[in-house]
Amino acid sequence: MTTASEVLSSLQSAFPGAIKDPRVESDARLWATVDPKRIYDVCKYLTDKLNFDHYSGSAGVDWIANNEMEVVEIMASHGAHPVVAMLKVRTPRDNPSIKSLTGLYWNADWYEREIWEMFGINFENHSGLYPLLLSDELMGVWPWRKDFKGYPDLTTGQRAVALPTANGYTEFRIPPTPAEIEAGTVPKERPKYPSFREREEAEIKSDSEMIMHLGPQHAMVPGPFLLDILVEGERVRKGFLDVGYIHKGIEKIMENRTWLQGITYTDRMCYVASLSNNECYCGAVEKILGLEVPERAQYIRVIVEELSRIQSHLIGTGEFLTLIAGVGYAPWQYMIIDREHVISLIESVTGARLTHSFVRFGGVRNDLPDDFAEKCKITLPYIKSRINEFIELFAQDPIYDLRMKDVGVLPAETAKEVGIAGPALRASGVSYDMRVEDPILVYPDLDFKVITGTKGDCADRIDVRLREILESIYIIEQCLDRIPSGPIKPEAKVPKKVPAGEAYYRVEDPRGEMGMYVISDGGDKPYRVKVRGPFYATLQTLPPLLEGVYVADVVAIAGSMDGCPSEADR
Amino acid sequence: MLKKKMIKNFTWPLKVATHGVESTRLYPEVMMELPAAERGIHELDATTCIGCGSCARVCPNSCIEMVPYKYGNPLKNKKMQFPQIDYGRCMFCGLCVDECPVECLKMGKNVVMTGWEREDIVKGPGDIAARKHSAKEVAEFEAEAKRIAAEKAAAKKAAAKEGAAKKAPAKAAGEKAPKKAEGANDKSKNGGAS
């Protein structure tokens, strides 16, 4: 088994002088600063020689005190070893530019576009640096830099001015602020990029092709994103994605809130999986603080997170199946009723139905109620019997077979390459689960298996989710048997200020690998929080998946990914 | 059964029109059972609140404002303030409840809130107080405060007189100090008892 120190020594011998201030945090975490000129070669070496075949994302950091920008590349492996390498690349703050990794990893595209539009870091050799999450008029203000004053400059209190146009519309213009005029730094015209519309229309080659819009408000997913497909007859030739309709800037908001207040914002990223988000953030902060979580609190966290997984899979599957004509609304009705029981169980512990704000640094908010185990003994077998019924039901339904079998097949190799996450990846037969790869809490003590599919088609994705529910029920039953009595919060009071440091923490969200990269500068607020969401990765893979399928299958494929655009946009 | 419901259907609009019942009709008619941990509308124990403002500081949406309130915990500090919650902004995260050092703020099982105006969902300490002092108790407190003030004034007067009577200033100062301390002790004892 490869460990972080082995990876480091291998890198140091291959690239003498290029790896600076390395830090081996544990067997599974390696931190290092890489020479910006060699980053491409280092990543290529990692992928080719050391099995780092999973580009897990990248984060931008603005070190305004050092007058430097930083990009952190997060490299991991699809199950070959548990090491996560966090490679930092530094670049001067004026005219920041680093090498793009899109040549090596297909999925680096979106991560680099996001860093470019938020921080203004240019990526050399990136073929399509277009706005992703921000609207076009926000380009060039680089909102996530530390010296960003709001747009329009909120320090002056000036807002956009409405101007009526000749044809009866209203245009909004943002005039330069007096401070800007005085200083002579009136911003030049914002850089213009071809809009999403222009880019997709440039792809129309003949009169037989046309563009179909699915969204931004489509029943396919419980949130807004625009999926445009270029169709030629019945076949999809190309897919285009436009996201950012509910971009809330949660990462930036959390920089302006105290550590404790940040928990409530993680809830709102994806309310269906808010407990995993809580866990991810709190886990990262606990890592910096060096807090030990009491054992009972660990068990409670596992129990509520698995319950949350059950309800998330139930609503995701149920909602999706309403879209597949023929299978109809019956599964939705069944699943939403069953989910109600699970939600009530979670509510009895956390006190809220969806946005729980339940996990705390070093513990949990509430203890389990006295009758929780008895309630579970009634609910869990019931859910189990229902899930078995659903699996049987779908196996018998011929229309379900026609719509789902062999539709949207994603081979294991492609799935690894495009960086898809969660059940959609496991349906392709890749056994990649954070609960096993990067074990947290009491998961190492528990007995469960990672559910995988065989073919990677839509039916497999649903099947994997349903069987994961059964596995989750098994985990909860074990936890209820073993849960010890004891405290649920750390004995010492958790300090308001977190010592300077950084941590990357991964959990298995219902939708896949979720990671949070948290940096503290020793203050009472985070310096930077980067959320590596699972659906961000999954959403990016839609266009290549949709190429060449029938129009009728688009909804089946896109819906079977169980999306949450709210979390992709953040 | 059916008849009963039909009658209710007729009487309800009448009731709304004539009595000005400012709420929609509950449906389902029986509220679901809520767990003990439920995070609903806040309940304030105004008799134990110390007005520290921890809840207002920790609130992520800054929806808690500290306002004066007559029927609260009176004797510690006359200018003491109590939380007023703007439910238009509250997201029921419960951080205020966790932060409260004397556990006087809780979240109850009441989750229903209606109103016609925006101001209706800004609930002052009087609206959210589950326990508060009655008007009679407040009058007693005020009388007590007056009595203490009068006593203090009298003590001061006496001290001043004594000081004026005695010619040696050093000696007067020596006698004045213990008397003042006694008065302070008296006051805190009274406060603790009530």
CATH number at residue A116: 3.30.460.80
ipTM: 0.76
Put simply, the answer to whether B35 touches A351 (Cβ < 8 Å) is yes
**What is the three-class DSSP state of A405?**
coil
Q: What is the CA radius of gyration of chain A?
A: 24
Inter-residue contact B41 to B107 (CB < 8 Å): yes
Same domain, A452 and A549: yes
B36 touches chain A (CB under 8 A): yes
Between A424 and B179, name the one with better pLDDT.
A424
Closest of A543, A546, A539, A545 to residue A568, by C-alpha: A539
Domain membership of residue A438 (yes or no) is yes
Q: Is residue A213 part of a domain?
A: no
* Dihedral angle sign, alpha carbons of residues A162, A165, A169, A174: negative
Extract the tokens encoding A58. Answer: 């990248």
- Per-residue pLDDT, A382: 92
Output the DSSP codes for A334-358: HHHHHHHHHHHHHHHHHS-SS----
Radius of gyration of chain B (CA): 25
- The number of distinct structural domains making up chain A is 3
Cβ-in-10-Å burial (0-12, 13-18, 19+) of A140 comes to middle
Question: Which alpha helices (DSSP H) does A165-244 contain, by range?
Answer: 178-183, 196-201
Do A171 and A284 lie in one domain? The reply is no
Confidence at residue A381, expressed as pLDDT on a 0 to 100 scale: 92
Could you read off the pLDDT of A90-138 as tens digits, one per residue? 888 888 888 888 888 888 888 988 899 888 888 888 888 888 888 776 7
- A54 and A158: one domain? no
Domain that holds residue A38: 4-138
Cα-based torsion angle of the residue sequence A271, A272, A274, A277 in order, rounded to the nearest 10 degrees: -110
Same-domain pairing of A108 and A173 = no
Q: What is the pLDDT of residue A271?
A: 83
Q: Quick one: A166 and A272 in the same domain? A: no
pLDDT band for position A220 (50/70/90)?
low
Instruction: Encode chain B in three state secondary structure.
Output: CHHHHHHHHHHHHHHHHHHCCCCCCCCCCCCCCCCCCCCCCEEEECCCCCCCCHHHHHCCCCCEEEEECCCCCCCCCCCCEEEEEECCCCCCCCHHHHHCCCCCEEECCCCCCCCCCHHHHEECHHHHEEECCCHHHHHHHHHHHHHHHHHHHHHHHHHHHHHHHCCCHHHHHHHHHHHHHHHHHHHHHHHHHC
My answer on whether A149 and A65 are in the same domain is: no
Last residue of a domain, one of A123, A138, A153: A138
Selection from A158-162, A198-202, A233-237, B21-25 with the highest mean pLDDT: A233-237
A278 touching B (Cβ < 8 Å): no
The answer to whether the Cα torsion of A110, A113, A117, A119 is positive or negative is positive
Assigned token pair, A207: 């009169």
- For the residues of A9-34, what is the DSSP string, one character each? HHHHHHSTTTEEEEEEEETTEEEEEE
Mean predicted confidence (pLDDT) in A241-250: 86
Q: Are A1 and A51 in contact (CB under 8 A)?
A: no
Contacts of A350 in chain B (CB under 8 A): 37
For residue A363, list its beta bridge partners. A360
Cβ contact, residue pair B95, A261, below 8 Å: yes
Among A189, A223, A258, the domain-final residue is A189
A215 within some domain: no
- Give the pTM: 0.83
Residue A419 to chain B, least CA–CA distance (Å): 34
Residues A424 and A498 grouped into a single domain: yes
What pLDDT score was predicted for residue A517? 92
pLDDT of B177 over the 50 cut: no
User: Residue A209 falls within a domain, yes or no?
Assistant: no
Domain assignment of residue A217, yes or no: no
Residue B41, φ and ψ in degrees, nearest 5: -70, 145
- Whether A157 and A134 map to the same domain: the answer is no
Residue type, A558: A
Q: Are residues A348 and A417 in the same domain?
A: yes
A241 in any annotated domain: no
**Position B175 pLDDT exceeds 60:** no
Taking only the tens place, the pLDDT of each residue in B66-110 is 888 777 666 555 677 888 898 888 888 888 888 888 888 888 888
In terms of residues, how long is chain B? 194
Say whether residue A122 is in contact with chain B using an 8 A CB cutoff: no
- Rounded distance between C-alpha atoms, residue A284 and residue A529, angstroms: 10
Task: Find the CATH number of the domain harbouring A545.
Answer: 1.10.645.10
Both A258 and A373 in one domain: the answer is yes
Q: Residue B68's CB: how many other CB atoms inside 10 A?
A: 14
Kindly tell me the burial class for residue A378, based on how many C-beta atoms sit within 10 Å of its own C-beta (0-12, 13-18, 19 or more). Answer: exposed
How much is the pLDDT for B180? 46
Given a cut of 60, whether residue B170 has pLDDT beyond it is no
Q: Report the alpha-carbon distance of residue A482 to residue A295 in Å, rounded.
A: 10
Residues of chain A contacting B92 with CB distance shorter than 8 Å: 352, 355
Q: Which residues contact A522 (CB under 8 A, 6 or more apart)?
A: A497, A498, A499, A500
**What is the band of B181 on the pLDDT scale with cuts at 50, 70, 90?**
very low
Q: Does A489 touch chain B (CB under 8 A)?
A: no
Find out whether A560 and A461 touch, Cβ atoms under 8 Å. Answer: yes
Q: Which of A138, A153, A174 is the last residue of a domain?
A: A138
Q: What is the pLDDT of residue B193?
A: 40
Regarding whether A256 and A350 lie in a shared domain, the answer is yes
Set out the domains of chain B in order of their start, with CATH numbers. Answer: 34-133 (3.30.70.3270), 136-193 (no CATH)
- 8 Å CB contact between B96 and B105: yes
Task: Assess whether A183 and A127 both reside in one domain.
Answer: no
What tokens were used for A493? 């009071």
> Average pLDDT of A465-478?
90
Contact status of A264 with chain B (Cβ, < 8 Å): yes
Instruction: Summarize the confidence of residues A46-67 as an average pLDDT.
Output: 87
Q: Does A369 touch chain B (CB under 8 A)?
A: yes
Residue A323 lies in a domain: yes
Query: Does any domain span residue A93?
Result: yes
